[in-house]
Amino acid sequence: MKELIYRTEYVTWLNEIKSKIYKLQVKAAIAVNTEMLLFYWDLGKDINDKQLDKNWGDAVVEQLGKDLQSEFPEMKGFSRTNLFYMKKWYLFYSEQITFVQQAVGQINLPAQINSEEKIQQLVGQIPWGHNILIITKIKNIDEAIFYVNETIINGWSRAVLRIQIETDLFKRQGKAITNFANTLPKPNSDLAKQTLKDPYIFDILTTKKDADERSIETQMTKHITKFLLELGAGFAFIGKQYKVQLAEKERYIDLLFYHLKLRCYVVIELKADEFEAEHAGKLALYIAAIDNTLRTENDNPTIGLILCKKRNKIEAEYLLNVLKQPIGIAEYEFSKALPNQLQSELPSIKDIENELSNEEIDSQ
């Protein structure tokens, strides 16, 4: 018995030590990345300044790359192309930073450091490849900082970051029509609104034009990881066709989630056609049911989201103004084509066809 206790306690202790070491390795990797990117920033600035002050041409950059690679053969990153990326990276932010103080002011870093230092420290928190992707795909600093921050918050890989840029997340985030300002207290209302987007773009799905809600819902839940990616950070999937009791009738919610940051349940209803007024009324009942059955004193009020193929903005706003439950309305669409470099990140058409075929067989 003592040996068993000893063994159990030892394994627990060993796991704790392993966890600390893993965390230390992550911190060390981040620190190394940050220091390297600070060096890249300074080197990019030096290259730009030297070319301006000394009237040196691009040939000096190529020579610098050769000399550095010769002196430090074990270090990657000193190719001619990469050196020009350093210069471009530095110029991208430094040339715009004086004109976009609002974007810089939103960066959560000590107030005593200047704008350029804030930018340096912010972009130093994501890998170099992510930085290159952002400055080659994005034209203005507001949008660039948005994607840097989202990458830090969500821990996006470079492929996922590319997807978000290609689907124009910057212009979609926070754009759903909601009544949150009237139904939720601040700052919850602002955070909840920023959590939703419009339109939602589901690259993971292939459906027929006349697909119904259940077909769409089934495909979404088959690829729930990709669906959660489009919903955004914080959504935890609870279930589909979630049963709730309304008086003597059983009703079924299309999709039910819990949002970890908002600390509330999120009811999602899918509509294959245009939004209609009764959709909001039905969702309001579901929200009330979840509040009455699942919500605890530690949870914030449940919110709802209607995802539809089309909606009239004025009609939706008018309707939401008379409802007491917090509801958002957004359109969704299916991406018809993906860049070649993203195909490996998503299920192939054959994969989805096989899944749908299997589902049809199972249902017979």
Name the CATH code of domain 172-363 (choices 3.40.140.10, 3.40.1350.10, 3.40.50.300, 3.40.50.150). 3.40.1350.10
Q: Specify the pLDDT at position 250.
A: 87
Residue 354 has a pLDDT of 47
Q: Spell out the domain ranges in the chain.
A: 2-166, 172-363
Contacts of 325 (CB under 8 A, 6+ apart): 183, 283, 284, 287, 288, 302, 304
- Distance linking the first and last C-alpha atoms of the chain: 55
Task: Please answer whether residues 269 and 286 qualify as being in contact, where contact means their C-beta atoms are separated by less than 8 angstroms.
Answer: yes
Q: Cβ distance 254 to 184 under 8 Å?
A: no
pLDDT by 10-residue block (mean), the chain, 364 residues? 56 69 67 84 91 85 88 86 95 77 49 69 91 95 92 86 92 94 92 93 58 68 73 88 84 92 93 90 93 92 94 90 94 63 42 42 37
Q: Alpha-carbon distance 296 to 281, whole Å?
A: 23
Q: How many CA atoms lie within 13 A of 299 on its CB side?
A: 16
| Tokens 């940050």 -> residue | 34
Model confidence, pTM: 0.71
Q: Are strands 264-274 and 249-259 parallel, antiparallel or unpaired?
A: antiparallel
CB atoms within 10 A of CB 265: 26
88-122: pLDDT as tens digits:
999 999 888 765 554 444 555 444 446 778 888 89
Nearest one of 200, 261, 206, 258 to 231, comparing CA atoms: 200
d(CA 283, CA 201): 22
- As separate numbers, helices (DSSP H) first and strands (DSSP E) second, the chain gives 16, 7
Neighbours of 314 (CB within 10 A): 9
Please write the tens of the pLDDT for every residue from 279-301. 999 999 999 999 999 999 999 99
Taking the C-alpha atoms of 352, 243, 259 and 193 in order, what is their torsion angle to the nearest 10 degrees? Answer: 90
Q: Alpha carbon of 114 to those of 41, 86, 104: distances in Å? A: 15, 21, 9
The pLDDT value recorded for residue 211 is 59
CA-to-CA dists, residue 160 to 1, 156, 185, 196, 221, angstroms: 50, 6, 33, 18, 19
- The count of other CB atoms within 10 Å of the CB of residue 356 is 16
**Can you tell me whether residue 266 is helix, strand or coil?**
strand
The whole-angstrom separation of Cα 217 and Cα 332 is 13
